[in-house]
Structure 1
Amino acid sequence: MKKLLSTLMMVSALCVWTSSIYAQTRIALISQVKGASASTDIAIQKYLQSKGYQVEVLDQSVSPNTLKNTDLVIISSTVASKNLQSGWRQLPLPLMTWENDYLDDLAMTGKRINTDFGEVEKERYLWLVNAPHPLSAQLPAGTHNVYKAQAPMSWGKPGLGATIIATIYGQPEKVAIWGYEKGATMDYESLAPAKRLMFFLNNDTFTNLSDDGLKLFDASIQWLTNK
């Protein structure tokens, strides 16, 4: 009985410690707060908060130079690319996005639409190609159903320094998830000023993620915030 109580106390302490670590992680979610898809960004905020992260939704008009005490920046695809403030490319903080139109602005790909970046209209499967990597969420290599139903997916063609995790099923040249470590070569001679990550979502597809899709999303957040 004493051993059982001791084990339960250790597990409880570990849970509290883990929650405390996440609670110290501050995420800025950049959104078009008055846009038609703002509710999806709120759903993402609530989901991450349920995991113990501190998440603040900021309007697309925010300047990257004003971000203080932030551990991770997420730029939602609800932000219109024409409204994206300058300075994000050089931001020395981990950054995640799922908007393919931003990839060239962030120097994460080249500049040719439908060649260096783009979107597929209907898909639900990814091909996981780098299973040993933490970004793969301990899922085995091969085909994974990441959406509950067919929906748009963003993709890009990353630079030579990228860690490629998954591609669009049947289209290996279209990369759906990849990351850059700090200092990695992105597009041509651009070096990542901090971790960078592209995820395959679209404006309204977060709530369409399957269990495997959510595992990959969680792994992305954890990798970006792991110092």
Structure 2
Amino acid sequence: MKRTIPVLLLVILMLMLLLGACSSGAKEASTSPNAKKALFVGGGNGDPFLIQRLKTLGFEVNAKADSEVTAEDAKNAGLIYISYTAKATQIGTKLAAATAPIIYSNAKAAVVHNLLKSEDQAGTFVHENGLKSIDIVDKKHPIADGFSGNVEVFSKIGNSSFATPTIKATIVASAPGEPGKGTIIAFEKGTADTNGKPLPARQVFYYVFHDSETKINENGWKLFDAMVKWAAS
């Protein structure tokens, strides 16, 4: 009897290892093969900085001009970034059926995709009226990444955009002293868009605008990384 106990323990241990391996395999199988593939729609001078950052975060980036992007490109992406340099008229509804999370630094595209009701809900701070910092409105949101209060996000004054959502959303950050002018706005999966249809994935409105990528400082990149992580998760 004494000899059988070690044998039983060995059998139990082997079964536990086998079950663990099966569980790990099932988890890996459930992960989309496109999870780390990003579709970047744009073509401006500052876009390479954002593309490189996405690559640093482990994404394989498919960069397409607004006139070239197709619905098929969206099907093969785990994350979509629409730059302010992309023309909404060129994109049209080609990405409307996309099920991947989308980050918009393009208000017109957000309108076309029913995230914003009209361009009247958005605006810009440019040139001498640009921003150097933003206010964290919801410091508990994962995108805030531990920041609170006023945070400098540019090394010098940069061009920025803002939006005021009318559908359910979380304004994570805003223009300084203007909490209604969201500079980072998070939309959860399932939220009804302006047409009442549920969003198929998380969406984010992002403030970087008009060649300000070169001015993003360490704080700004940390917020960018947290935004991408939240959207893609």
For Structure 1 versus Structure 2, the TM-score category normalised by the shorter chain is: 0.7 to 0.9
Shift of 1:45: 1.5
Matched, 1:220 2:231: no
- Structure-1 residue corresponding to 2:141: 133
* CA gap 1:188/1:126 in 2 versus in 1, 3 angstroms: farther
- Structure-2 residue corresponding to 1:103: 110
Matched, 1:63 2:70: yes
Aligned pair partner of 1:120 in 125, 128, 142: 125
Aligned pair partner of 2:47 in 38, 41, 50: 41
Q: What is the distance in 1 between the residues matched to 2:186 and 2:71?
A: 20
Q: Residues 93 and 112 of structure 2 are in contact (CA less than 8 Å); yes or no, is this contact kept in structure 1?
A: no
Q: TM-score, normalised by structure 2?
A: 0.78
- Structure-1 residue corresponding to 2:79: 72
Higher Cα Rg: structure 1 or 2?
Answer: 2
Shift of 1:100: 2.0
* CA gap 1:68/1:126 in 2 versus in 1, 3 angstroms: same
Q: What is the distance in 2 between the residues matched to 1:223 and 1:198?
A: 13
- Structure-2 residue corresponding to 1:19: none
- Structure-2 residue corresponding to 1:31: 42
Shift of 1:172: 1.8
- Tell me the alpha carbon deviations over residues 138-162 of structure 1, each in whole angstroms, 9 at most, x when there is no partner: 21x2111111111211111113321
- Structure-2 residue corresponding to 1:20: none
Figure out how many residues of one structure are paired with residues of the other and give that number.
197
Identity of matched residues, %: 21
Shift of 1:104: 1.3
* CA gap 1:68/1:191 in 2 versus in 1, 3 angstroms: closer
Superposed CA RMSD in Å reads: 2.0
- Stretches of structure 1 that go unaligned for 5 or more consecutive residues are 1-22
Q: What is the distance in 1 between the residues matched to 2:193 and 2:218?
A: 30
- Tell me the alpha carbon deviations over residues 105-142 of structure 1, each in whole angstroms, 9 at most, x when there is no partner: 1211221x3x4111112111211011111111121x21
Shift of 1:54: 1.2
Greater share of helix residues, 1 or 2? 2
Q: TM-score, normalised by structure 1?
A: 0.80
Shift of 1:67: 3.0
Shift of 1:170: 1.8
Shift of 1:24: 5.7
